[in-house]
Structure 1
């Protein structure tokens, strides 16, 4: 193949790649893309008893630049145990911790109200669902250290 034909082919391929990457970069993310599961403590320290249920928790982070109302959103495990967010707004750059057990809700911590451990220590999946039922984020783990970053 002559050098000018090879150069022309390479130019065509590179132009197509740059054009495609520009188009992919222009795709808009969903408005809720900034709401993420950031961490799951699925195995409370010590033996699982009713006294350490709040040692299990899920952290939800708003990485966006605007606050987001999470009222009606849901956090679910793989078997369908469901926490529904109360009237709540997660500020920009903020994290809320959803603890499995009982307690008084604050701007930084919400309580599921369970009397038992929900998250499976040997593998499970946390699913964050919008009120419409669509999945906003998931975090999956196997048998590990008891905590996972998502």
Structure 2
């Protein structure tokens, strides 16, 4: 067999494998390009605590009880450098020099604090997330939509998510 024939057979085998792999995706990942992108990256918005429990006195302690978890379900770590987490009003937190390990979660707090591998801080002096109704949107370093979580009155289409302290929806 010539090397040209072997290359053609190998190319056909790879193409068939790719088609089979795409067909094997779960139905939820096939339902929309947005969900397919989140499925491929393995990164999504997990739990949300948009309303600080207890008395909200705007102290740093109270602000740090307002948080959003970003979770990576894949086995591989994901470089979040340049990724953003924003609210409906345009308040934006940008991840800097942060790598989220595989099968790990990082909690993004609103207030001031010292970043660790499990917790990062927006270093804000005022609340970001509207306790009545808001949407948290996660975008990658190219500005492409990865995931969102909504709570309160105005929801985007979606299903119930795992958001503590709210009746949120997630795409």
Give the TM-score range, shorter chain. Answer: 0.7 to 0.9
| Partner residue in 2 for 1:80 | 90
CA distance in 2 between counterparts of 1:128 and 1:50 reads 25
Contact between 2:73 and 2:103, CA under 8 Å: does it hold in 1?
Answer: yes
**Superposition TM-score, scaled by structure 2 size:** 0.68
Match of 1:38 among 46, 52, 55: 46
Q: Which string of whole-angstrom CA distances, capped at 9 and with x for unpartnered residues, describes residues 17-50 of structure 1?
A: xxxxx97545694475300000110000123222
CA distance in 2 between counterparts of 1:25 and 1:82 reads 36
Higher strand share: 1
CA distance in 1 between counterparts of 2:47 and 2:22 reads 32
1:49 aligns to 2:57 (yes or no)? yes
What is the root-mean-square deviation in Å for CA atoms of aligned residues? 2.5
Structure with larger RCO (C-alpha < 8 A, sep 6+): 1
SS in structure 1 at match of 2:46: strand
Distance 1:59 1:48, change over 3 A: same
Gaps of 5+ in 1: 1-21
1:52-63 residue pairs with structure 2 within 5 A?
Answer: 52-63=62-73
Gaps of 5+ in 2: 1-20, 154-162
- Kindly state the Cα deviation for residue 135 of structure 1 after the two structures are TM-superposed: 0.7
